Amino acid sequence: MFYRLGYLRAYERFPLTDVEAFFYFVVRDAGRAVTVLPVSLLRGVDPLGHLRPRYPVAAADRGLLSHVWHCYDAWLPGEPHTGVVVAAMRDLAAELGADWYGFINVPSGSALGAALVAEGFPAEHIEDRFRVDLRGMTDVEGYIAAARPRGRANLRRNGRRAAEAGVTVRAMETADGDLMEVAALCAATSDRHGTGAFYPPELFAGFVTALGGNACLIEVRERDRLVAAGVCLRDETRFHAWACGVDYEIGGNYSPYPVLFAATAEQALRQGRQVMEGGRGNHAFKLKHGLTPVPLDACLRAV
């Protein structure tokens, strides 16, 4: 998903972080492209605060990174010409006057991570992303039944209480929703965790619109008031719970997030995806509800 032309072009038009410039490396063999890599020059290299515990980054540092922070699954498309690519990154970072260069959100133990370590990069754990294999499941009830006992009880309890409170859930294409309303809720939720600038509402709405059919929305409303929303991305095999917002000032005795989570799993299954990607963070909830962590590393060097 994150290396598709549609995603890259949408992020170029509506950069959700402070990107100074975008670049694309192409490695060719006899004129044929064999490896490609998108990189961006970012002002403020650590918008989520993930790097500071591991690297001596300053707030104003500039970095030439791959991929963008709104991608949680970095890899090197094509043949593994890692040495050639990182040498080109180093040279471009120096030319641009960047402070850092390298890769973020690299799955720990991946081929890319091993290749970067072999090139002399450190691999520092910064966060986990979560996913669940949906193969063998046919509907959301099957997913709930397979969850851990506490997770199963939580999803069923909140689903029942939400119905009693008059809550409605709707999945739709992005063109059918109020993206500014969704963006504002996502930004407010992120702000509670100290990262409100990660979803600038106008850019966020423009970006999701530009994704077109690569994205869809899930809304949870309590008597017409939006109390939870998810922006989901979809590729051939995976359904991504990419961004969400939750309002806990509700009238009923339920939590909106488990309702949104169950609706997301339901859509992933209805749309025939093999894997649901649950995004980063919220570790306790995701572990309780059957998702598996994938550790993510940052592999950076000072210029």
Q: What is the pLDDT of residue 137?
A: 94
Q: What is the pLDDT of residue 253?
A: 93
Residue 193 CA to residue 207 CA, distance in Å, equals 22
**Cβ count within 10 A of residue 76:** 24
Q: What is the pLDDT of residue 184?
A: 96
Residue 28 CA to residue 136 CA, distance in Å, equals 41
Strands (E), the chain: 19-29, 32-43, 62-66, 100-107, 124-133, 167-173, 215-222, 225-234, 238-246, 275-280, 292-302
Q: What is the pLDDT of residue 193?
A: 84
The sign of the dihedral angle between the CA atoms of 17, 116, 113, 31 is: positive
Cα–Cα distances (Å) from 14 to 56, 183, 202, 286, in that order, read 29, 13, 9, 30
Q: What is the pLDDT of residue 114?
A: 98
Tokens of 119: 């090139």
| Domains of the chain (ranges, CATH numbers) | 5-128+296-302 (3.40.630), 136-273 (3.40.630.30)
Residue 227 CA to residue 182 CA, distance in Å, equals 10
In eight-state DSSP terms, residue 261 is H
- Identify the bridge partners of residue 292 per DSSP, sorted by sequence position: 131
Q: What is the pLDDT of residue 194?
A: 86
Tokens 């299954």 locate to 269
In eight-state DSSP terms, residue 110 is S
Q: What is the pLDDT of residue 72?
A: 97
Residue 281 CA to residue 129 CA, distance in Å, equals 7
**Does residue 44 come out as left (phi exceeding 0), alpha (psi in the -120 to 50 range) or beta?**
left
Cβ-proximal residues to 133 (8 Å cutoff; 6+ apart), any chain: 274, 275, 292
Picking from 106, 84, 87, 104, the residue whose alpha carbon sits closest to that of residue 29 is 84
Q: What is the pLDDT of residue 57?
A: 98
Tokens of 287: 């572990």
Q: CA dihedral in degrees (236, 22, 75, 215; nearest 10)?
A: -20
Q: What is the pLDDT of residue 148?
A: 87
Cβ-proximal residues to 219 (8 Å cutoff; 6+ apart), any chain: 169, 170, 171, 172, 177, 182, 226, 228, 229
R_g over Cα of the chain: 20
Q: What is the pLDDT of residue 119?
A: 98
Q: What is the pLDDT of residue 146?
A: 86
Tokens 């077109």 locate to 212
pLDDT (tens digit, 0 to 9) for every residue of the chain, 303 residues total? Answer: 999 999 999 999 999 999 999 999 999 999 999 999 999 999 999 999 999 999 999 999 999 999 999 999 999 999 999 999 999 999 999 999 999 999 999 999 999 999 999 999 999 999 999 999 999 999 999 999 888 899 999 999 999 999 999 999 999 999 999 999 999 999 999 998 888 899 999 999 999 999 999 999 999 999 999 999 999 999 999 999 999 999 989 988 999 999 999 999 999 999 999 999 999 999 999 999 999 999 999 999 999
Picking from 73, 88, 72, the residue whose alpha carbon sits closest to that of residue 25 is 88
Task: Tell me the one-letter amino acid at 155.
Answer: L
Q: What is the pLDDT of residue 101?
A: 99
Q: What is the pLDDT of residue 105?
A: 98
In eight-state DSSP terms, residue 72 is -
